[in-house]
Amino acid sequence: MPQPRVFEVMRAFRLALLRRERKSATRLVNAYGEAYQRLLPQIEALQAELEVVGVKEWKRYKLKRLESLKKQIEYEINEYAVFADREMILGAKEAINQAGKESKIITHAALPGFEPVDARIMQSWNRLPTESVETLLGFLANGSPLRESLRSFGSATADLVEQRLTEGIALGYSPRKIASIMRDELGQSLIWSLRTARTAQIYSYREAARANYLANDHVVKGWIWRCARSDNTCMSCIAMDGTKHPLTERLNDHHNGRCSPEPETLTYRELGIGIDEPPPLVVEDAKSWFGKQSEEVQRKMLKGAKYDAWKAGEFDLDKLTGTSTDSIWGDIRVETPLKDLVTE
């Protein structure tokens, strides 16, 4: 099925954004890996001490090794957090700058397609200064929930490692298993930072694009939710695809979300241009796309029991999206759990 030219433009820019994000993620992984390697000897020393003293003996007194490890974790992760903060801010600012350039190109591609007229329309485009968009977004400012979470990253990680250690000892785990749990907790901290950095870049790009659309409401009247259609696209995004929204509403995708706002432009008649437009292409929404996928793909995306309930007609695909509140990003879209989709 032929697709509007704006889809190709948006796809190319989305891939470029993801390439930039992956480069940033590589730098974060390398920096975290260095911190982890500096912590590893202390974790191994704690494991050895537990093996010598015995897990039961831990219940009588607190090992000095843990206190030393906590201080080292807090120091190393705080050092990493400084690097991560700088990486996130630079990545977000680059995304804002790119969105300022690319929102105009995307809008041009979304116009009806009579090039002499479209080019004349785009001459009136107003590009917002990058600094203005940064101020509008807010989450990049000192004191924002995102920046504050990074400032407390070291102490929070150290506390979690201590908590997992204490739980492991209370449950009678072996020193080897306790050390493994502690390493896993440090790994979860890396995952959080990678997820947050990626979300910050993508969020910045989307919101900067929307801000530029809003500054050009003489050309753009709204936006259309478009998801990246693949077998790892969440079903909330599938449900939202094709829905229309006002410029005053943000695209509140989940963490790591890849969805994009397609600008909905005014028609030639709405712009006061007295010519007929080419007939628009019929665009298949993601729910229809999903319906054409193989059972294997559908089961993978709906995760087993939810697939069976959908095939039994217990819910429609448009019910698969809901909202949740995130401490950093506010209201975000989430996939509706099965228990909320079917009645007993």
Reading the block at residue 130, the tokens are 């990058």
Structure tokens at 6: 């704006």
Give pLDDT tens digits for 237-253: 999 999 999 999 999 99
End-to-end CA distance of the chain: 41
Q: Are 96 and 134 in contact (CB under 8 A)?
A: yes
Give ∠ CA 232-234-239 in degrees, rounded to 5. 135
Kindly tell me if the per-residue pLDDT of 162 is higher than 90: no
Find all residues with CB under 8 Å of 25, minimum gap 6, and list them.
Answer: 194, 197, 198
Q: Determine the average pLDDT of the residues in 53-78.
A: 76
Token pair belonging to 149: 């979470």
What is the reported pLDDT for 185?
87
Q: Which amino acid is at 144?
A: S
Q: Which residue has the higher pLDDT, 134 or 260?
A: 260
pLDDT at 246: 97
CB atoms within 10 A of CB 313: 7
Report the run of H or E that residue 335 belongs to, with start and end. Answer: strand 330-335
The whole-angstrom separation of Cα 48 and Cα 27 is 32
Collapse the DSSP code of 173 into the 3-class scheme (helix H, G, I; strand E, B; otherwise coil) and give the result.
coil
Task: Work out how many domains the chain is built from and give that number.
Answer: 1
Secondary structure of 125-145 as H, E, C letters: CCCCCHHHHHHHHCCCCCCCH
Q: Residue 320 carries which DSSP code? A: S
φ, ψ of residue 140 to 5 degrees: the values are -85, -10
3 state DSSP class of 102 = helix
Report the distance separating Cα 158 and Cα 42, nearest Å: 13
Note if the pTM is more than 0.85.
Answer: yes
- As a whole number, mean pLDDT of residues 86-109 equals 94
pLDDT band at 58 (very low <50, low <70, confident <90, very high): low
Domain encompassing residue 53: 5-340
Does 344 score more than 60 pLDDT?
Answer: no
- Dihedral sign for Cα atoms in the order 152, 158, 160, 163: negative
Q: Give the C-alpha separation, 16 to 11, whole Å.
A: 9
Cα–Cα distance measured from residue 84 to residue 87, given in angstroms and rounded to the nearest whole number: 5
* CA-based radius of gyration for the chain: 25
- Report pLDDT digits (tens) over 184-208: 888 888 898 899 999 999 999 999 9
pLDDT above 70 covers a percentage of the chain that reads: 96
pLDDT at residue 139 in the model: 75
Q: Which of 13-17, 129-133, 278-282, 293-297 has the lowest mean pLDDT?
A: 278-282
Residues 6+ apart with CB under 8 A from 43: 69, 179, 182, 183
> Span 69-74, mean pLDDT?
89
Contact by Cβ (8 Å): 4, 110: yes
